[in-house]
Amino acid sequence: MLPLPPLAGVADAELGTALPELLGPVPGPRGQQWVDLLARHECPGITARRARRAESSGVGQDPVVWERAVGSNVWDPDGNRFVDLGGGFGVACAGHANPSVVAAAHEQLDRLVHGLGDAYPARVRIELAAALAELTPGDLQQVIFASSGSEAVEAALKTAVLSTGRSGILAFEGGYHGMSLGVLSASHYREGFRAPFDGLLGGYAQWLPFGATQEQLREFLAAQDELPAAILVEPIQGRGGNRCAPAGWLGGLRSLCDEFGLLLIFDEIFTGFGRAGSLFQSGSAEVDSVVPDLLCLGKGMSSGFPISACIGTAEVMAGWGMSRGEAIHTSTFLGHPVAARPRWRCSSCSPRGGCWSEARSLASAWARASKRWWRVTPAASARCVAAARCVASACSLLVTPSCCAGGCCSVATSCCRRVCAGRCSASPRR
């Protein structure tokens, strides 16, 4: 195992910091029963089951059914214990079942379970909007709430169209912005995700290589009959391979947008709330201190509940005009009270918490050790740095399987276990 800096902590299943423990086959008999029931009642195109997994990987294995989770540990119905290296798809920024998050949710359930969308706002939704305006960089002040990352990006695209009067979007190869119909045209990742629905898609987006040169960007813009409304980009491509933007590139995009009158949209569904070492990549040194016009957030925003947001400047949001009683963009569960409340009770994950600086130190050590271990090629070096930045939130447990390609899973397990072992409020005993 690669050398990592020592951290105080214990391997304890009650804290959610234990190593895996298998009591039998995976999945066991109870898990298989649940998967059989799933096969009868869920659309076959959703969860990959034995036949499909065998086809894609050569190993026929049913998925693990989750029974419960604490911290970084997950248990299946047969009592097998696992370490969640994906942090619940990056949602569990405070660890699974963080006691502060659970307590806040219980408190909100006793007070108000559901608001009335855009008609009568819940107080907690207003509090969350004000908190986001305070936490996000620059002049990002006004919010559109939603329930999923896709919806947050859709809100940003609609805002760009209304603000500029133009409808095209420039996005990038490898980019992933969600699976809903509204954003599929902008998501380049896997053409097979779009192809079955080509007849329904608007075709409003065009793509250039992630990291395209200024010359390529200017040639593209010069060739357009109408300039796009916005440039949509992930500061770090997540599903597209944990790819960091080249140094100075995002600053170049900001300058280009200012020069040509385009809006800049950062999709930080993947990187937001400390998952790459800073509260947000927006405004941080990692992205040349660039602040976008619109910022999309989700996943770790609530540490377990379905809520997302698009936050922008007042000038850009003014493109919507004033609501006249029937909003042209809304949803029933807009800023849902139970989802809006828990995130802000997890003080250890706030900008003033001590976990992030410790995690950044660990991530730096891991990056250095990983480079030595890989006997570095430039591509491997860049991948190690990107993976280390992904580990850099103390509570996010964000070491994804793609980060660990090439045998780094043992390092990732150690990172997750060390970071969370009694160090933050992700531990039920704290």
Domain ranges of the chain: 100-345
- Reading the block at residue 85, the tokens are 């290296």
Give the orientation angle of helix 355-374 with respect to helix 409-420, to 10 degrees: 160
Question: How far apart are the C-alpha atoms of 47 and 113, rounded to whole Å?
Answer: 30
Question: How far apart are the C-alpha atoms of 81 and 51, rounded to whole Å?
Answer: 24
% helix, strand, coil for the chain, step of 5: 40, 10, 50
Pick the closest to residue 145 from 167, 118, 123 (CA basis).
Answer: 118
Predicted pLDDT at 371: 61
Question: pTM of the predicted model, to two decimals?
Answer: 0.84
Give the pLDDT band (50/70/90) at residue 410: very low
Pick the closest to residue 31 from 17, 19, 47 (CA basis).
Answer: 47
Predicted pLDDT at 368: 73
Instruction: Tell me the H-state helices in 79-122.
Output: 87-90, 99-111
CB–CB of 412/404 below 8 Å?
yes
How many CB atoms neighbour CB 401 within 10 A? 10
Q: In this predicted model, what pLDDT tens digit does every residue of 250-261 receive, in sequence order?
A: 999 999 999 999
- List C-alpha distances in Å: 200 to 44, 46, 109, 195: 22, 20, 39, 10
Question: How far apart are the C-alpha atoms of 399 and 92, rounded to whole Å?
Answer: 12
Q: Does pLDDT of 355 surpass 60?
A: yes
Q: Does pLDDT of 419 surpass 60?
A: no
Residue 310's DSSP bridge partners are 144, 296
Burial class (CB in 10 A: 0-12, 13-18, 19+), 429: exposed
Amino acid letter, 324:
R
CB–CB of 384/370 below 8 Å?
yes
Question: How far apart are the C-alpha atoms of 217 and 207, rounded to whole Å?
Answer: 10
Lowest mean pLDDT segment, chosen from 90-99, 275-284, 361-370: 361-370
Residue 12 Rama label (left phi>0; alpha psi -120 to 50; beta):
beta
Judged by DSSP in three states, 187 sits in coil
Instruction: Tell me the H-state helices in 50-196.
Output: 50-57, 87-90, 99-111, 123-135, 149-164, 181-184, 191-194
Q: In this predicted model, what pLDDT tens digit does every residue of 209-241 receive, in sequence order?
A: 999 999 999 999 999 999 999 999 999 998 898
CB–CB of 370/362 below 8 Å?
no
Length of the chain: 430
Question: What CATH topology corresponds to 100-345?
Answer: Aspartate Aminotransferase; domain 2 (3.40.640)
Average pLDDT over residues 195-205: 90
Pick the closest to residue 385 from 400, 399, 404, 371 (CA basis).
Answer: 371
Give the pLDDT band (50/70/90) at residue 378: very low
Question: How far apart are the C-alpha atoms of 338 and 112, rounded to whole Å?
Answer: 8
Residue 69's DSSP bridge partners are 74
- List C-alpha distances in Å: 94 to 167, 253, 300: 38, 32, 8
CB–CB of 163/199 below 8 Å?
no
Burial class (CB in 10 A: 0-12, 13-18, 19+), 370: buried
Residue 312's DSSP bridge partners are 142, 294
CB–CB of 338/305 below 8 Å?
yes
Average pLDDT over residues 62-76: 93
Give the pLDDT band (50/70/90) at residue 62: confident
Q: In this predicted model, what pLDDT tens digit does every residue of 296-341 receive, in sequence order?
A: 999 988 888 999 999 999 999 999 999 887 888 988 898 999 999 8
How many CB atoms neighbour CB 314 within 10 A? 11
Pick the closest to residue 89 from 308, 241, 303 (CA basis).
Answer: 303
- More confident site: 412 or 184: 184
Predicted pLDDT at 350: 58
Bond prior to 27 in cis (omega within 30° of 0): yes
Predicted pLDDT at 356: 66
Give the pLDDT band (50/70/90) at residue 424: very low
Buried b (16+ CB within 10 A) or exposed e, 126-150: eebbeebeebbbeebbbbbbbbbbb
- More confident site: 263 or 89: 263
Give the pLDDT band (50/70/90) at residue 54: low
